[in-house]
Amino acid sequence: MKRLIIAFILLTVSMTAAWSQESAQATFNNRLHDFGVIKEQGGPVTTEFEFINTGKKPLIIIDATASCGCTRPEYPTKPIKPGKKGKVKVTYSPLGRPGAFRKTVKVRTNGDPKTATLIIQGTVTPGKK
């Protein structure tokens, strides 16, 4: 009985490993962007997080959700083929938000892992009133 349980566990682990190697995978060059010091009255600032599908199946970004309404993500809506690159564009609006900020964008995919967290940060200097 013990051998049967061990064989079942080994089979399950090997099947999981084989499946994860066959899935899509978003590999980001960088998951953090620091805008440094930006002006409140300077308008929105934008950065792009580049990734490559290092998996073996097409990568689909299901959605990208920001931690705040002041942050707006944009992402590819078409599948990214294995070996191809894509970008998640993130725009932050500093108006009415003086001080330090750190915001996240959760990117959900069909890949492994299912979720990637991107971070933007910086400091907003107050505008003239």
Q: Indicate the domain borders of the chain.
A: 2-125
pTM above 0.85, yes or no: no
Going from the first residue of the chain to its last (129 residues), give the mean pLDDT of each consecutive group of 10, the final group possibly shorter: 60 50 91 97 97 97 96 98 98 97 98 96 87
Q: Do residues 120 and 35 make contact, with C-beta atoms less than 8 angstroms apart?
A: yes
What stretch of H or E contains 9? helix 2-22
Distance CA 119, CA 9 (A): 37
Residues in the chain: 129
Q: Which CATH number fits domain 2-125: 3.40.50.11540, 3.60.21.10, 2.40.50.100, 2.60.40.10?
A: 2.60.40.10
